[in-house]
Structure 1
């Protein structure tokens, strides 16, 4: 089945049923705020390393329901020690730049292009994206960022320079926002997030939740 091509001048996406088995739905378009917000509210996200832009809607979808978060005894001890200071929206640019530049095991390069970084910085300035920072001795050692629409948070990326830094940021964020969030989109499976309670749900169920709660 040929992929749907999105013209730059049309704010549209095809039906999610047109995605291929890996979840690739469409190519093209741009990273304007309007298109990104439409994408997230439709259950779609961009993920590519070079243009054209690739748009994804995998089935099933990997998500975390905040009240289902699992925190191990050892991680509770780490948090109680107080070695980390967790903040929200203190250094969005620092978080996304670290996510973009820190090497990852098994990956050659990064999918956060310069255009992607600029697009999410715009989303942040317009109040649609937030960051969570993990500090140790006044140094930024971990964190994550994503898009928050209504009661939905769409996680984009996280990083850690020291052991447990990104976990500490994520757990603290989830526990602080438990009553404010219905669902956290983790997009695709990772063992890291699975250990914290993330699980698969169908794309239909995911889109239904998003359409009801991403206001």
Structure 2
């Protein structure tokens, strides 16, 4: 029994080291301004009055940035307020978009913010969703096999750590309208999405099927 205990301890340490190697800290600006804007978003969009910007993760949403480089993708999320080139969503809130994770084309996983802090990345569901952004997603810079493997690793890691019920592609978010997790107050606030692609999602789901995630609600 003692020998088994030692083996389990070693495996635990090795597992921790692997996670530390795989997740690279690259924090965006999360100052008092962003905290205030995040709490305002929770209140105004979801009627959730909170003292903190914390969430309880129930869902993972996969995205692509449609931006070809890691640096430019990071810059899009870095500052607390929306840039001028996002007028389509600025009228809803001045809070900048972001996600908890950003995966480069070489498969490196960057953590931009804490997993249990709200990021603005998916309408109606930010209050319970961890976002994973992938650099690229255009015809010139399609998502890579290394990114696919990194997404599978990260979904596995997060689903082991939290009570994750759903793993969805950004293009599927509108199917949650009317679902108990859906809290967006404005029925007219929607954007059309295609990321990260149906084929990409199918491969991630197949590789993580052991978690028995709930199916996306039908339209």
Asked if TM exceeds 0.5, the reply is no
Larger Cα-atom Rg: 2
Structure number having the greater helix percentage: 2
Q: Provide the TM-score with structure 1 as the length reference.
A: 0.31
Higher strand share: 1
TM-score, length-normalised on structure 2?
0.30
